[in-house]
Amino acid sequence: MKALSTFLVVCVSATACAAMVSPRLPEPEWPDREAATNAALPVATWQKHGHFDVQMSVAAGTNLVQLAFGHDADGDGELSRAETALVVGRGFADAFVEDVAARMRYVEDLPPAAGRRGLGWRVFLHADGAPTGLSATNEAGVAVFTEWRHAPPAWSFDPSWDTVRVVSAGPDDADGCVRVEIGPDGTLFIMR
């Protein structure tokens, strides 16, 4: 017991004498901010037209934009993570899709674009709302996620989705706007 108490005193004494110095972190090179909004989606128009469209256009300075789709079960007008079924987004050099229930994220690497970046996502639907085809393209019209073209995953659309949450992150500058159009009804978001 005496050896243990002597050891503790030596350890405490040694650490008490050492000065702790934390270096100051440099200021970030890219000022960043996040903006988010939620909106109700008119579900009936998707079944009427036989497809569900998302077109997003992201300014060169924006780091990413992501759209979360799901059912607002608690009716508070905001889509929580627990209510989210699908996330579709565009980053600086990639496009991504997430099946939230399965915790699976699919990423397609894309070459960095000099100007605005974009992602088009169209799911073709059967009369009952089941996905039958998928077309996804980048800002240049180049196909992405081609493995789902003729056999889209069941989680790529659900007729019960009634809410979308749009999140954008990037610098707060004049070119930092995000344009998202969800169709075929033409719901439009423009965020700065």
pLDDT of 49-76, one tens digit each?
A: 788 888 888 776 667 788 899 999 999 9
117 has a pLDDT exceeding 70? yes
pLDDT-based confidence at 22, cuts 50/70/90? very low
Q: Give the residue with greater pLDDT, 120 vs 16.
A: 120
Give the C-alpha separation, 52 to 161, whole Å. 11
For the entire predicted model, the pTM comes to 0.76
Give the C-alpha separation, 145 to 136, whole Å. 6
Fold annotation for 33-191: Jelly Rolls (2.60.120)
Angle at 191 between CA 38 and CA 186, to 5 degrees: 65
Alpha-helix runs per DSSP H in 21-67: 44-49
Count of residues making up the chain: 192
Calculate Rg over the CA atoms of the chain: 23
pLDDT tens for 145-159 read: 999 999 999 999 888
Cite the beta strand spans of 26-90 per DSSP E: 33-40, 51-58, 64-70, 84-90
Q: How far is C-alpha 89 from the chain's CA centre?
A: 5
What is the percent of the chain where pLDDT is above 90? 28
